[in-house]
């Protein structure tokens, strides 16, 4: 049986949208706000709110700049975020256990 200690699950990551953001960034490492919005199929406001929460914990960083005259926001996973996500996955795996 698995370890059912739900306290090992990070509440910041355990939101559907934030989980999707973290999963996407684990493979992409960095994404433009628009790319992320399209990939996750969320609104600007929804994505912005979830990114702010992740940024507040240090899991992601946002870099705002201009490309020509257009604003661009690049979102990247921090080392802290990568470690937190791996720990989150380990916690889920421990709860699920292995099938025998």
pLDDT digits (tens, 9 = 90+) for 15-32: 999 999 999 999 999 999
Q: In whole angstroms, what separates CA 46 from the centre of its chain?
A: 13
Distance from C-alpha of 46 to C-alpha of 44, rounded to nearest angstrom: 6
Cα 30 to chain center, whole Å?
11
Q: How far is residue 59's CA from residue 64's CA, in Å, rounded to a whole number?
A: 17
CATH number for the region 6-94 comes to 1.10.10.10
Enter the pTM of the model: 0.88
What's the average model confidence in pLDDT over 32-54? 97
**pLDDT score for 3:** 64
Domain ranges of the chain: 6-94
């Amino acid at each position: 049986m698995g370890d059912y200690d739900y306290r090992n699950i990070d509440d910041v990551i355990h939101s559907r949208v934030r989980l999707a953001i973290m999963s996407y960034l684990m493979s992409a490492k960095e994404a433009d706000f628009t790319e992320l919005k399209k990939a996750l199929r969320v609104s600007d406001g929804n994505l912005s709110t979830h990114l702010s929460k992740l940024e507040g914990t240090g899991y992601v960083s946002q870099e705002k700049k201009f490309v020509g005259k257009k604003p661009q926001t690049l979102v990247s996973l921090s080392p802290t975020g990568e470690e937190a996500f791996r720990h989150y996955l380990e916690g889920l795996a421990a709860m699920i256990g292995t099938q025998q």
